[in-house]
Every structure is written in C-alpha cells, then in structure tokens.
Amino acid sequence: MIPLGILAASGAGTAFGVAGYVAGGNTGSVVNTVDKFAFPSDSRTTLGTGLSSARRNASGISDSGVAGYAAGGKTSSEVDTVDKFAFPSDSRTTLGTGLSADRFHATGISDSGVAGYAAGGYDGSNFSTVDKFAFPSDSRTTLGTGLSSARRESAGMSNSGTAGYVAGGITSSEVDTVDKFAFPSDSRTTLGTGLSADRRQLAGMSDSGVAGYIAGGFDGPDFSTVDKFAFPSDTRTTLATGLSSARRLATGMSNSGVAGYVAGGYDGSYVATVDKFAFPSDSRTTLGTGLSSARRGPAGFQNEAI
C-alpha cells in the first residue's frame, strides 16, 4: 500500500491535500483553539470543538485521510493527553492511553497509514523517549532506541513510508543534531550533516517523497533560516528566502506536492502570521488571513489526502 502522503507528493491519481490544522498555544494565556486551513484555498475556519484542555507546546501527528493528533503539552503543568481529530468530520476524542509520561515540547513525526511518534520533550528534565502510536488502533509502545540525546524543543519532518526526522532542540545547550528513524523498523541513525546552526524552538514541514524543511528557531537571537533536506539523500541546503520574520515557537503543516506552511510563533511579541512555501520552487508568500489569534507554541498536523 502506498502511504497517502507519498501518493499526494508523487501526483499519482488525483489525491491532493484537504486541510492543515494549528492547535492550541499561548496568546498570553493558554488556549484550546484549533484553526483549520482548507487546501488549496488557504481559507481559515476555527473548529467548534477545540482541544480537550487549553494547552501549549503539544506535538502534532498526522494519519492523513484518517485523523490528526495533538499529544502532550502544558496547561499549568505538563500532561500526557492525546486528542484525536477524525477526518473529515473533525470530531474529537481523547485516547484512553496517552503518552508514556507527562511532557511538553515533544516532537511529532508521522508515517501515515502506519504509525505516529512523539519524541523527546520536557517535564523538569529532558526526555529521549520516543512513543509510537500504531494506526488505526492507537495502541502505544515505546521504542527501544530513543533520541541520540535527551532534548526538547526540536522539530519533526516526515517522509511517509521511508523515515521520520527529529531536528535540533536543546540538551543543556542548543544542538544541530538530526536523528533519522527508518520506517517501519524504527532503527535510528544520526545525519552526518545537521542543521546549518545550533537552535531550538523550531518548526518542521514536509514534502513527502521530496524534501523536509526546518524553519526558524532560537539560539540567543531568533532565526528566519529555513534548512531543506532532500529525500532520500538527506543532503542539506538553506533556502535563499527564509521566514518573513525571524521567530521561534512556530509550528509547521504540510500539503505534500503543493506547499508547506509555518504558522504563529514569537518574535518579541506573539505572531499570527502564516508563511507559505510553494513546492518545489520554495518561493514564499504570506497568507492574507493568518491565525485567528496571535500565539506561540501551537501544534500542527494535516490531512494530505482525499
């Protein structure tokens, strides 16, 4: 079976993305808001049912054509909650089995049709743990091999059917490390070429079958940098055009074969901006309609197939 994300990326049949979602975050206080951007119009609506609790810095996981997930996060304290939004109804349930530990600032990666992963995070100390949720049962296991270092505030990118990547973050200081988990074995390697600079609080987006992107971040100053990793070689280039403003704590969502998006964040104030990078040119525009509220630390997931 060809994963839905790869079908969309390859142009096979008539599969195109349906929508991207930006869930939760902090506007000055934590929110449960879930904004939905319809593909390809990029028109925004806000779901009548948001997250089961207001929280920030959850991790987004996608099973395109089936459901999107917001895992963990922080309200007044860290949680292990995993909310599931069924496609296309966007009805929400909460998994009976959450993360293996309360944590926020974890990173989501996805192998649509097979499994989703929540990697790393923080709850007073950093995690190297990688939890795996099998689709469609949502049963959870924890990988025997976690991240190459315990860290938080990384970004994820995914090449469905092939591999997922966890990039950057902070241990005791910022790192440029990119760990790669091969699907379906979940064996981990670390890329010889990491990010173009050490940084944390990043956003990831993916053009499945083609390339993954790691955008923005923080290491003293904020970054507007967007690094691109070509699949399957994992060679890195840096886009000539970065984000429309240097910022951190944004999130990414993807419409493989069409465009990737970097939404929200913080640049000294809360940001509602949504930057759009067209595939394969990587040209950037900024949506006329941004998020429904300026916020940092939301989670992003997407439905990439009809």
pLDDT of residue 18: 95
CATH number at residue 119: 2.120.10.80
In sign, the C-alpha dihedral spanning 199, 103, 81, 113 is positive
> Could you read off the pLDDT of 175-226 as tens digits, one per residue?
999 999 999 999 999 999 999 999 999 999 999 999 999 999 999 999 999 9
In sign, the C-alpha dihedral spanning 52, 120, 129, 189 is positive
> Could you read off the pLDDT of 214-235 as tens digits, one per residue?
999 999 999 999 999 999 999 9
Contact status, residue 212 vs residue 226, Cβ threshold 8 Å: no
Contact status, residue 241 vs residue 275, Cβ threshold 8 Å: no
Structurally, the chain folds into a number of domains equal to: 1
Please give the Cα distance from 196 to 198 (Å, whole number): 7
Residue ranges making up the domain that contains 170: 4-303
